[in-house]
Copies of this chain bind each other. A is one copy, B any other.
Amino acid sequence: MKNSFGHIFRLTTFGESHGEALGGIIDGMPAGIDVDMDFVQRQVDRRRPGQSRLVTARNEADQVEVLSGVFEGRTTGQPIGFVVRNQNQHSNDYENLRNLFRPSHADFTYWQKYGIRDHRGGGRSSARETVSRVVAGAFAMLALRQLGISIQAYTQQVGNIALPGTYEDYDLSLTETNDVRCPDAPTAEKMAELITQVKAEGDTIGGIVACVVKGCPTGLGEPAFGKLQAELARAMLSINAAKGFDYGMGFEGVTQRGSEQNDPFIMDEDGEIATLTNHSGGIQGGISNGQDIYFRVAFKPVATLLREQRTVTIEGEPTTLTARGRHDACVLPRAVPIVEAMTAITLIDNYLLNKTTRL
C-alpha cells in the first residue's frame, strides 16, 4: 500500500533517481480505450528536465516503454506495466552526499526509518519518481477525454508574483505558451525574471499551482473519509515539495460569512439545477456537483541550493554543503503536469468507484 495510489484505477510506482529505471503498474485501467502513445510521451516531455532555460539543464530523454496491457492499440483491462530508463546519470556527482544529510531533504528521515539509503540524487525520495505519475496520469486522461472531462493546471504564483484574478479571468489555453506555464503573459514574464534572478543567486523560490477541472459529472467522491477533496488533498500532498492544498474559497474564505460563501441553487439556461456562484469549488459534501472543480497547491522552494548550507554528517559531525550540478531553482513550471496527472488519476478512480453506487 505504501507506493500505491487509487482504489480501482490504482497506480503503483518503483524506481530511484539514479537506479536502472523508474516505472509503475496501472491496475484497473478500463478496457477498450484507444491508446495514443504520442500523447503519453508528450505529457512526460512536459515534466522533463531541460525543456527550457528556467528548469534544470539535465536533458533526459525519459522515453516511456509500455510493456503490457495494450493490444493492437487498445487497452485490454489488464495491468499496464511501464518503464522509463534512467540515462545521463552523473552518479559520482553525489558521492559527497553519501555521508551527510542535505537540509530539508529526505536524507535524514530515510536513514532513520530504513537504516540504509541510496544517496544518489535522493534515491527514491527524488521528485524523479513523479515521472511514473505523469505516465499514469496520461493514461487516465485518455479515459477522461472519452467522458468529456478536461484538466488544466497553471502556475498561479511564484514567490510574491501572483496572478491577481481567478481562473475565470484568464484564457487557460495559453498556459503552455510560456516557460513558467502561467496563462497571463505579463505575469509570466515577471515570474520568469524572478526565477532567473533567484537562480543567479544560487537560491530557490516557491509558489502555487492552481488547477481547474471542467466537464466533471456529478457524483464523484465518497462521503465520510473518501470525500473528493480528501482524495485530491492526499494526491497533491504526495507530490514532492507540496506544502498545502485548498479548494474552492479555501484559506481565503475563512474570513467570509456563510451568506457570502454559500452557493444558491438556481436553474441554469439548460434547465438543469446549478449553482449561482461556485465558491464551493465544484464539490459539496465530498461529492462533485457538476460545476468546475478548482483547487490550489502550495510548493516550497527547492531544497537543493547552489550556495553553502550548514548540516551534519551521519556521524553527527557539523559540516557544510554546497550543491553542484543541475537543479531547478523553482519547481512550479514542472509541477504543473504533475498536478494534472495526480488530478486525472484521482478523477478516473473516483469515476469508476462511483459506478458501484447502484446495481
Known: A125-B286, A204-B257. 13 other contacts (CB 8 A): A1-B10, A30-B358, A30-B359, A32-B358, A78-B123, A101-B265, A109-B288, A157-B254, A159-B254, A227-B237, A258-B305, A261-B300, A265-B312
CB of B67 within 8 A of CB of A20, answer yes
The residue in chain B whose Cβ has the minimal distance to the Cβ of A234 is B234
The residue in chain B whose Cβ has the minimal distance to the Cβ of A290 is B112
CB distance from A234 to the nearest CB of B (A): 4
CB distance from A129 to the nearest CB of B (A): 6
Which residues in B have their C-beta under 8 angstroms from that of A232? Answer: 237
| Identical chains bound together, number | 4
Q: Which of A40-48, A53-61, A176-184, A216-224 contacts B (4 or more CB under 8 A)?
A: A216-224
Which residues in B have their C-beta under 8 angstroms from that of A257? Answer: 198, 201, 203-205, 301
CB of A219 within 8 A of CB of B109, answer yes
CB of B68 within 8 A of CB of A16, answer yes
Question: A interface, how many residues as a size bin?
Answer: 35 or more
Return the CB mask of A7-35 against B: 1 if under 8 Å, else 0: 11010111110011111110110111100
CB of A253 within 8 A of CB of B300, answer yes
Which residues in B have their C-beta under 8 angstroms from that of A279? Answer: 104
Q: Does A3 contact B (CB under 8 A)?
A: yes
CB of A231 within 8 A of CB of B233, answer no
Which residues in B have their C-beta under 8 angstroms from that of A253? Answer: 206, 243, 298, 300-301
CB distance from A142 to the nearest CB of B (A): 10
Return 29 A-B CB contacts under 8 Å, by A number: A1-B28, A4-B4, A8-B353, A14-B80, A19-B67, A24-B25, A28-B356, A31-B357, A32-B359, A71-B118, A106-B287, A109-B289, A113-B287, A114-B358, A204-B259, A205-B258, A226-B238, A229-B237, A230-B234, A233-B245, A234-B237, A238-B286, A244-B247, A244-B250, A245-B246, A253-B298, A254-B298, A256-B300, A273-B316
